[in-house]
Amino acid sequence: MKKTAAILLLAVIICCTNNSNKNRAFVPSSSGNLNNVTVIMPQKEWQGNLGDQVREALEEIYEGLPLDEPQFSIVYMNPKAFTGFARQNRNIIWFRKDSLEGFRMSQNQFARPQIVAKVIGLDSESQAFYFKENSLLIKQSISENERLEKLRRIKKAPTKEKSLTERFGISLTYPSAYKTVKDTTNFVWIQKEVRKGHLNIIAYTLPENALEGSFSSRILDIRDSIGKAHVPGRLKGTHLITERAFKPYFYKAKIDGKMSYLTKGTWEVANDYMAGPFVNYMVRDSIEKRWMVIEGFTFAPSASKRDYMFELNTIINTLEKID
Any idea where the domains of the chain sit in the sequence? Answer: 2-154, 163-321
Residue 271, pLDDT score? 84
pLDDT single digits (tens) 231-281: 998 888 899 999 988 889 999 999 999 999 999 999 999 988 889 999 999
Cα distances (angstroms) measured from residue 162 to each of 80, 169, 190, 294: 52, 10, 11, 16
Let me know how long the chain is.
Answer: 323
| DSSP-assigned letter for residue 87 | G
Q: What is the pLDDT of residue 214?
A: 77
pLDDT tens for residues 176-197?
A: 999 999 999 999 999 999 988 9
Phi and psi, residue 103, nearest 5°: -130, 135
Whether residue 261 contacts residue 249, with contact meaning beta carbons closer than 8 Å, is answered with: no
Mean pLDDT of 285-291: 94
pLDDT at residue 195, rounded to an integer: 87
CA atoms within 13 A on the CB side of 42: 9
Question: For 2-154, which CATH class?
Answer: alpha beta
Stretch among 13-17, 100-104, 137-141, 304-308 having the lowest mean pLDDT: 13-17
Give the pLDDT band (50/70/90) at residue 302. confident
Percent of the chain whose predicted confidence (pLDDT) is above 90: 83
**Average pLDDT of the chain, as a whole number:** 91
* 2-154 and 163-321 agree in CATH topology: no
pLDDT for 24 equals: 52
What values do phi and psi take at 20, rounded to 5?
-75, -25
Write the class of the CATH domain 163-321.
alpha beta
Mean pLDDT value across residues 21-48: 87
